[in-house]
A and B are shown apart, each in its own frame.
Chain A
Amino acid sequence: MRSTLFALLVAVPTALVTFLVARGTGPCRVDPCSPLGATTPPTAGAGRAEGTPGATPAANAAKDPDAALKALLAPPLAGFTLKAEAALYDQKGLFDYIDGAAPVFIERGFRKLAALELKTTAGGELAADVYDMGITENALAIFTFEKPPAAQVLALGDAGHQGRLAVVFYRGRYYVKLTAFDAGAEAALVDLGRLLASRMP
């Protein structure tokens, strides 16, 4: 009797665990695991500065790079309001955000992306994508790779360029792409770029 009770106590919970594990790791078609992964960022959340008080931004970035990345986009951003919280994408999630452009980033050491949508005080809409490339050399590598041959150079960050509706620059480990969706927002791109660059170590 005691042996039977023992067997049941062992078997039932373990069976449930086995079932749950099997269900979670079984063959996954494209894609019942996530009904609409294409529009679902893997993690989201920003909005407050994080990091070790008193430490330098560079030290914070090295110690807790996710918190440092989110802190770059934390309000207040003078002259801008956030449409939504920043979304973070890791290497796997990057495909859900930029699809086939992801491999060129990953090959160059991409670590994480923070994507943010903003409005200017005049109502213009724009997007800020801040790529944490881990180290300065990687940020420079992707900046160089994506830079159009005839790009208009912009004194921003460590190096930058400006196109119609777009501003791109890198500073330290961060590679930043700013995109405007109207003329009003386009005029504010450089201001936003300078604001973000000033927060970067």
Chain B
Amino acid sequence: MTRKNNPDLPLADALQRAADNAGKPRAYTRREITSKIAQTSVAALATLGLGTWLYDRETARAEPLIKMRDHRIARPAGAVDMAIARGPDAVENVRKALKAMGGLETFIKPGERVVVKPNVGWNRLPEQAANTNPELVAEVVRQCVTLGAKEVWVTDVSVNKVEQCFARSGIEAAAKAAGAKVVLPGSTGFRAVAVGGRVLQTAEVFWPFVDADKIINMPIVKHHGLTNATMSLKNWYGVIGGHRVRLHQEIDQSIADLAAMMKPTLTILDATRVLLANGPTGGSLDDVKRFDTVAVGVDEVALDAFGAGFLNRSPSELGFLARAVAAGIGTLDYKSLKRVEL
């Protein structure tokens, strides 16, 4: 009941009180205070509701998550799982190893769109061995083109400035000369992909990796300050955008999560020149040693287990390999695979 409806308060008395209180701060009744509190609470709730509604609308506009395709192929019984070629000519090594695997034609078909993914993370010369050997990249591109691939995309989400990395590494020039389209990542072109890993649930993946029919992983073997080694599995950091610091919080599991998401058609491991210390950046040629070896295979874990030897590491010392084995990505026992050494 309000004051003006109160029959016990005569109008004249009310007017007199109003005149007496003119110019003085108004005294609120308990009921008015309760009412103000209620109104403020309603306003606060409305605020929260409106903010949440606006945020939900923004979130709802985000594109749906994509699931990465499985780019592996079914292989005939008795096929070679891993081929290792050694010799002073890097191009000849990759040719021999691919031939031993049954030829690239068993993996790439005419009309397909192929991504070749070297490590082009660094503003470094080929001799500094921070990036994949450009001669190997060129040879793989040449073979894909010869086989009638519709598109051959060479790309990597570099760590240093992307234009510098592709130019300084020699990969841009070599890949273009061989017939590839070099795709440099920019600020757009990343797609939200479901990772579903233990650490990484989602990732922004650069579009060629999403659109390709086949993917060829071409890592280089080198030292890495945090994981001791970077090879096939770690090379998948170069498919995603964003600040890398969050990937390094639980790096071994992050590597395994991404490796479980990416299922490449083929992996070609470059151990022509190996950066033995101060990786992954390197810089001094004194940290580089030539091993003149190329290994090709379909089991990335096995290839990394083999590659660990160049860095004087046992596969069991590399935490990301243990996580990858636990995730069922491959085997450490590369010697148990059908293997050819040339």
Within 8 A of B (CB), among A50-108: 92-93, 95-104
Of B159, B278, B284, which one neighbours A99 at CB under 8 angstroms?
A: B159
List the B side residues contacting A97 at CB < 8 Å: 159-160
**Residue from B55, B244, B247 having most chain A Cβ neighbours under 10 A:** B244
Cα-based distance from A179 to B124 in the complex (angstroms): 9
Asked if B225 is at the interface of the complex by the 8 Å CB criterion, the answer is yes
A200 interface contact, C-beta 8 A: no
Question: B43 and A11: CB pair below 8 A?
Answer: yes
In the complex, A29 Cα to B248 Cα: how many Å?
15
In the assembly, what is the distance between CA of A17 and CA of B48, in Å? Answer: 10
Are A166 and B283 in contact, with the CB atoms below 8 A? yes
Q: Is the CB of A11 within 8 A of B50?
A: yes
Closest to A92 in B: B245
Whether B55 contacts A23 by the Cβ 8 Å rule is yes
B36-53 interface bits toward A, Cβ cutoff 8 Å, 1 = contact, 0 = none = 100110111011101110
A55 to B192, CA, bound (A): 52
8 Å CB interface, B44-98 against A:
44, 46-48, 50-52, 54-55, 58-59, 62
- Inter-chain contact B225/A104, CB cutoff 8 Å: yes
**Across the interface, do B43 and A10 meet the contact criterion of CB distance under 8 Å?**
yes
Q: In the complex, what residues of B have CB within 8 A of residue A150's CB?
A: 286
**Cβ–Cβ contact A100 & B224, under 8 A:** yes
Tell which of A3, A8, A22, A95 touches B248, judged by Cβ atoms closer than 8 Å: A95
A34, B241: Cβ atoms closer than 8 Å: yes
Number of A-B contacts (CB under 8 A): 193
Report the Cα distance A35→B132, complex, angstroms.
25
Flag if B243 contacts A19 (CB, 8 Å): no
* Minimum Cβ distance to chain B for residue A35 (Å): 4
How many B residues touch A, CB cutoff 8 Å? 67
For residue A31, which residue of chain B has the nearest CB?
Answer: B242
Pick out which of these stretches binds chain A: B182-190, B309-317, B321-329. Answer: B182-190
The interface residues of chain B lying within 8 Å CB-to-CB of A165 are 125, 127-128, 283-285
| A-side contacts of B127, CB under 8 Å | 165
B159 proximity list for chain A (CB < 8 A): 38-39, 96-99
Contact A18 B243 (CB under 8 A): no
Q: Which of B203, B277, B284, B286 contacts A29 (CB 8 A)?
A: B203
State the CA gap A6–B54 with chains docked (Å). Answer: 21
Distance in Å from the Cβ of B247 to the closest Cβ of chain A? 7
Q: Is the CB of A163 within 8 A of B157?
A: no
Chain A residues within an 8 Å CB radius of B286: 148, 150-151, 163-164, 166
Q: A11-B50, A39-B160, A100-B226 are in contact. Are A95 and B243 (CB under 8 A)?
A: yes
Tell me if A122 counts as interface (CB < 8 A to partner B): no
Which 6 A-B pairs have CB atoms at the shortest separation, nearest pair first?
A31-B242, A18-B51, A163-B284, A164-B285, A166-B284, A15-B50
Q: With contacts A14-B51, A34-B243, A35-B186 known, what are 12 further pairs, Cβ within 8 A?
A: A7-B43, A15-B50, A18-B48, A29-B242, A35-B188, A93-B243, A95-B245, A99-B244, A99-B248, A101-B278, A101-B280, A165-B285
| CB-defined A-B contacts under 8 Å, sample of 20 | A6-B43, A7-B39, A14-B47, A16-B54, A19-B51, A29-B201, A30-B246, A31-B240, A32-B192, A33-B243, A34-B241, A35-B204, A38-B158, A38-B159, A38-B244, A98-B281, A99-B281, A102-B248, A146-B278, A148-B278
